[in-house]
Amino acid sequence: MKYTDDYIVAAGEVGYDLISFDWSLIDICNYSCTYCSAGFGCSSANEKSRFYKNKNIQESYKNVLKMLSLSSIPEFEVSLVGGEPTLHPNLSDIIISLDNNKNCRDVSVVTNTSKPASYFEKLDSLNASKLSICSSIHFEHYKNTDMNKYLYLASLKHINFEPIIMLHDDTIYWDDMISACEQFLTSNIPFSVTFIEDNQYYQPHYTDTFYTTFSKYINTSTDNRYTFKSTSNTYTLSRDDIHRNNLKTFKGWTCTPLLWLIDVYGSIKNACTFESSDIAFKNLIAKKTCPLNQCSCDIKWKFNKYK
Ligand code: SF4
Ligand code: SF4
């Protein structure tokens, strides 16, 4: 792997040890983005959903909360995802429990924000100090009136509102994407961006024109600095640099993969090795050989890895 003709031999943050859980609360979504890696772009995905048909699945969150409250678990952050997590009937209870969990540092609800503002007012009234609402803006479903809701949510007192611009490669969505970025900049609302990753349903093609048009927004976004090292240089790179230079292939490198996935049944597996967590969470932090062809997300880019 090279950056400006320099061979990269290490990446991520040395000493980084914060566990991240991505918890899929529900296997159903009310949107159908064509690029959805979970397959909700196909009409059959929601038909396969087990959540509303199975009481055990609906109740599995209680076991997960118990597991996450074990004293043996290291400090962690958790993202509540789906499907669409706001469709889970017990989302408020889950947030309160995690907010009271002393090993939990942050709770993020990653939502398509399709619920009305009144729904988020109720989450705000929970007064949960660790709560962020990460609002993924999917431009295939975007309406001009949505911006008023985002601006209102940003004004709520107790939740930290974080818009995420889903960067679509299709030019028909670019005007709306630009308009949303400009509105957040004008309103001083920090936002981040996410690239669509290759998956079995969608292969994005980001052109040079795309980068020329959107670099300024990608580079003004928050949480946008990642470390890469050669034998003689240290580079601090943005998402833009990483995608343009395809600095996402670490297969065979030594890495400490700290992202764990919790599925709707409540089982916990490492997002990279697919190894299950042991009963006392003793194996959450361990060096592994990277088995994957792509290091696909910003959380993973923080994990320390070397050749
Ligand atoms: S909102 Fe998210 S989960 Fe739902 S279809 Fe779109 S990408 Fe998939
Ligand atoms: S894909 Fe996983 S194991 Fe591989 S480098 Fe990225 S975080 Fe580490």
Digit-coded pLDDT (tens) for 156-179? 999 999 999 999 999 999 999 999
Measured in Å, residue 30 CA sits from the centre of ligand 1 at: 8
Which residue's structure tokens are 């985002």? 150
CB neighbours of residue 206 within 10 Å:
15
pTM given for the model: 0.94
Position 221 confidence tier, pLDDT thresholds 50, 70, 90 = low
Measured in Å, residue 292 CA sits from the centre of ligand 2 at: 7
pLDDT over 70 at 306, yes or no: yes
Calpha distance 113→196 (Å, rounded): 18
Take atom 8 of ligand 1 and give the residue whose Cα is closest. 36
Residues touching ligand 2 (Cβ under 6 Å) are: 250, 253, 255, 257, 272, 288, 290, 292, 295, 300, 303, 305
Number of structural domains the chain divides into: 1
Take atom 3 of ligand 1 and give the residue whose Cα is closest. 83
Q: What is the mean pLDDT of residues 189-203?
A: 92
Task: Give pLDDT, residue 222.
Answer: 60
Calpha distance 59→90 (Å, rounded): 9
Q: Please indicate whether residue 38, judged by its CB atom, sits closer than 6 Å to ligand 1.
A: yes
Over pLDDT 90: what percentage of the chain? 83
Instruction: Check which CATH number belongs to the domain holding 209 and give it.
Output: 3.20.20.70
What digits encode the pLDDT tens for the residues 260-281? Answer: 999 999 999 999 999 999 988 9
Task: Determine the structural domain holding residue 103 and report its residue range.
Answer: 2-306
- Report how far apart, in Å, the C-alpha atoms of 187 and of each of 150, 177, 183 are: 11, 15, 6
Measured in Å, residue 266 CA sits from the centre of ligand 2 at: 23
Task: Give pLDDT, residue 240.
Answer: 86
Over pLDDT 70: what percentage of the chain? 99
Measured in Å, residue 28 CA sits from the centre of ligand 1 at: 9
Contact indicator for 165, 192 with CB cutoff of 8 Å: yes
Q: Please indicate whether residue 82, judged by its CB atom, sits closer than 6 Å to ligand 1.
A: yes
Contact indicator for 255, 287 with CB cutoff of 8 Å: yes
Calpha distance 278→286 (Å, rounded): 12
Take atom 7 of ligand 2 and give the residue whose Cα is closest. 300
